[in-house]
Amino acid sequence: MTASYDNTAIREQVRKLCAQFPGAYWRALDRQRAYPEEFVRALTEAGWLAALIPEEYGGSGLPLSAAAAILEETHHTGCNGAACHAQMYIMGTLLRHGSHEQKARYLPQIAGGELRLQAFGVTEPTSGTDTTALTTTARREGDSYIVNGQKIWTSRAEQSDLMLLLARTTAREQAEKRTEGLSVFLIDMREAKGAGLTIKPIRTMMNHATTEVFFENVRVPASQLIGEENKGFRYILSGMNAERILIAAECIGDAKWFIDRAVTYAKERVVFGRPIGQNQGVQFPIAQAYAKMRAAELMVERAASLFEAGAECGAEANMAKLMAADASWEAANACVQTHGGFGFAEDYDVERKFRETRLYQVAPISTNLILSYLAEHVLGLPRSY
């Protein structure tokens, strides 16, 4: 793939690739809760998952808006980027905070598809959204850290070679601030599996390859620490804006898919001797969803352009995620309603996409937590938690 800043060309190429993975492909996987290996391989081989990796490390060095276009188109065609999207934003932590040796060792292999960095171990069963309350520990012992604890919702852990792990290196009571004392590690799961790391899949309402990961005295070379010890929380935070913008782009793609499907069906389906789409009761929910999707799309573009300019974009990235997730959910509802009973039939893909897009009200950050961010950091209201 040659580097190109022309998102129209990128979109066309992504659409062409995704056309090889139609609804029937995703339905079959959905029934078995199986990972879309061929789809992820095709995206990797085409270079799309390395879009944000700089050219000096074998990627295409594209800006965030190009990555957003890739993921939006993926979802617009009915495919699901959740199988691999994390590689795009997790990699940023390694890129921004990793040492020269770490970057030179891993990024070219990630860009070339020899290594997968798909797993992001932050959330824990007892801490939930309160990340600084996490209890997985990494204790220094000579040239290693010994990791003990448990993560939950670690998506793609079974399919990934590497995991970016956030663990406590200084007890919460001993840390100066609650955001201190956490560190980020790049774990080679190929070595750790069978040496204290075990993975247990979680069956979810949609096909998501998510898991619980248990660490029992897992020895991690100290050379796998990213950046400085105890500063890990801010490294993870620094990647959140990119994550939110990219997930928002996927939601825009989902919303467009739902709207396209709803419009097509509303024109074709004839009841009472006329297309159902002739009734305003059917038209208006689709038109509402369209207007909200377009507004959200503007916020995604705005957030991405601020991000690319190196400007502060926390508020815009959060609003983009909020508005885009709401727009895709509203479009999903309108699409099911438009399809009537057929909205529930597997063969139409609507119910599958409906389940898939519901996630984004909760993960990677829930709507409430975005609202409390805006209330506190943008509007200056008192901190609620």
Ligand X SMILES: Cc1cc2nc3c(=O)[nH]c(=O)nc-3n(C[C@H](O)[C@H](O)[C@H](O)COP(=O)(O)OP(=O)(O)OC[C@H]3O[C@@H](n4cnc5c(N)ncnc54)[C@H](O)[C@@H]3O)c2cc1C
Interface positions with ligand X (CB under 6 A): 120-123, 128-129, 153-155, 204, 208, 210, 359, 362-366, 368-369, 372, 384-385
Give me the least distance between CB of 343 and ligand X, in Å please: 22
Dist CA 262 CA 159 (whole Å): 34
Q: Which residue is nearest to ligand X (CB)?
A: 128
Q: Taking a C-beta distance cutoff of 8 angstroms, is the pair 110, 51 a contact?
A: no
Give me the least distance between CB of 12 and ligand X, in Å please: 30
Residue tagged 């935070």 (tokens): 237
Dist CA 255 CA 243 (whole Å): 18
Dist CA 87 CA 182 (whole Å): 22
Of 306 and 324, which has the nearer Cβ to ligand X?
324
Give me the least distance between CB of 286 and ligand X, in Å please: 28
Q: Give the Å distances, CA to CA, from 351 to 205, 355, 358.
A: 11, 6, 11
Of 116 and 208, which has the nearer Cβ to ligand X?
208
3-class secondary-structure state, position 148? strand
Give me the least distance between CB of 367 and ligand X, in Å please: 7
Of 260 and 376, which has the nearer Cβ to ligand X?
376
Dist CA 228 CA 210 (whole Å): 29
Give me the least distance between CB of 74 and ligand X, in Å please: 17
Residues in Cβ contact with 207 at an 8 Å cutoff, skipping those fewer than 6 apart:
26, 29, 30, 33, 34, 80, 356
Of 124 and 297, which has the nearer Cβ to ligand X?
124
Residues in Cβ contact with 31 at an 8 Å cutoff, skipping those fewer than 6 apart:
none
Give me the least distance between CB of 368 and ligand X, in Å please: 3
Instruction: Determine phi and psi for 92, rounding to 5 degrees.
Output: -60, -35
Q: Give the Å distances, CA to CA, from 200 to 121, 122, 156, 157, 158.
A: 14, 16, 11, 9, 9
Give me the least distance between CB of 383 and ligand X, in Å please: 10
Of 156 and 256, which has the nearer Cβ to ligand X?
156
Of 159 and 224, which has the nearer Cβ to ligand X?
159
